[in-house]
Amino acid sequence: MKKVTLDRELFLSKLGKTIKFIPSKTIIPAFDNAVINISRDNAEIIASNGNTMVKVDCQVSATEPFAFCVPAKLLYKTISLFNENKVTITLNTEDSIEVKCGKSKYKISLDCFPQDFPIMKVDGFHSEINMRQFDLKLGLDAAQKFVDENHQNANMTAVRVSEIDNKIVFTGLTQAIMCRAALSPISINKWESICVSKECASKVVSLLSEKGEVSITNNGNHISFFTDKDSLDGFEVISTSANIKFPDSEKLFSKKPENEVVINAMEFTGAVKRLELYASSDPAKVVIKSIDDNEISLTSTDNLLKRDGEEIVSAKNNSQHNIHKIFGIDDFLQILSHINSNDFTFLFSEQKNRPSFIIPKVNTENENIFSFLIADFIE
């Protein structure tokens, strides 16, 4: 018999991270399982959905090295309901394990074996970035929140990770809005742009911590995220790249409009939320009508219910503009929810159907991370 003893809380935290990578519905039964490779003092836990694979390590104590595949969610739920913290897993036969904690004992049948589990093996990574985990989490999380993985245009269903002017740029976009986060890495080695699925991006974000470093490599077809193996929160994620033609968003960002006004973020957000109550639904829209005398005028209208609203928001501006810019309220509020600064700069063209920019107002160049683009609503 081959036996491993583990700390319940520690093992659950590690297994819980891998379960996020197991699909809710699997076509290939093997993907319901996690592979657990046991050495005398470590358990390597591997899970995959076919496109993305994760590996995490957990400290254990074993009699000898061995490996097994186990239904991951069943094992997690079983161990989570134990009352004591010392858990023993014994591989009795090739097709069953015994899980024991205190006076509780359960047998789990195994229908998949380590040698049959489809491990993703990728060689030839030629691009590499090293970043702070906090920075990767900040940029990747913001960009993926602006991606609709079910969008009818497949080219808009992923996050692009690119290198521009020695910064790593994470870009996510919908039909009307775009989020661009540019952060300084610790090091770059021949980075080539690659697209990451929203699903992979959000799951990597869930593994990242506030401290430590993370390396990212890619070979054009696959991308890998990994930390120091000896780290307490160490992990490795390998994923196939999203096979799409991402729009050339940098052309849009290189052609920012000439007019700008600085607006208080909290005051403006409150005004837009109130106007939403007086706007036609499907979709609700807000109109920027004028910028004059350090004020910006906003309106919304519901023609069906014959009601409308008007807001005057203070602004810092050196010129006067009579404009008619229409934006989706949901789009505006999604951008505003990602602005933590007191003020933001609104850059705009007086011409209709020209995109505008929203850029948080920061104190130093190092804080200049986010840029948002919002398209005019075309009636």
**Res 244 pLDDT > 90:** no
- Residue 370 carries which side chain, given as an amino acid letter? F
CATH topology classification for 2-116:
DNA Polymerase III; Chain A, domain 2 (3.10.150)
In angstroms, rounded to a whole number, what is the distance separating the alpha carbons of residues 26 and 101? 30
State the pLDDT confidence band at 264, using cuts at 50, 70 and 90.
very high
In angstroms, rounded to a whole number, what is the distance separating the alpha carbons of residues 227 and 224? 10
**Res 335 pLDDT > 90:** yes
pLDDT in tens, 184-243: 999 999 999 999 999 999 999 999 999 999 999 999 899 999 998 777 778 999 999 988
**Helix (H) or strand (E) run with residue 226 in it:** strand 222-226
State the pLDDT confidence band at 379, using cuts at 50, 70 and 90.
low
**Sequence-distant contacts of 318-321: CB under 8 A, at least 24 apart:** 319/259, 319/291, 320/290, 320/291, 320/292, 320/293, 321/259, 321/290, 321/291, 321/292, 321/348, 321/350
Q: CATH topology of 2-116 equal to that of 256-374?
A: yes
CATH topology classification for 127-250:
DNA Polymerase III; Chain A, domain 2 (3.10.150)
Going through 80-202 in order, the beta strands assigned E by DSSP cover: 86-93, 96-101, 104-109, 127-132, 158-164, 167-173, 177-183, 187-189, 194-197
pLDDT in tens, 34-92: 999 999 899 999 999 989 999 999 999 998 999 999 999 999 999 999 999 999 999 98
CATH top-level class for 256-374?
alpha beta
- Residue 303 carries which side chain, given as an amino acid letter? N
pLDDT at 336: 95
Portion of the chain with pLDDT greater than 90, in percent: 69
State the pLDDT confidence band at 354, using cuts at 50, 70 and 90.
confident
- Pairing assessment for the beta strands 42-48 and 259-264 based on DSSP bridges: unpaired
Tokens found for residue 118? 């489809």
Tokens found for residue 44? 């390597």
So where are the chain's domains? Answer: 2-116, 127-250, 256-374
pLDDT in tens, 245-262: 888 888 877 778 888 999
pLDDT at 364: 78
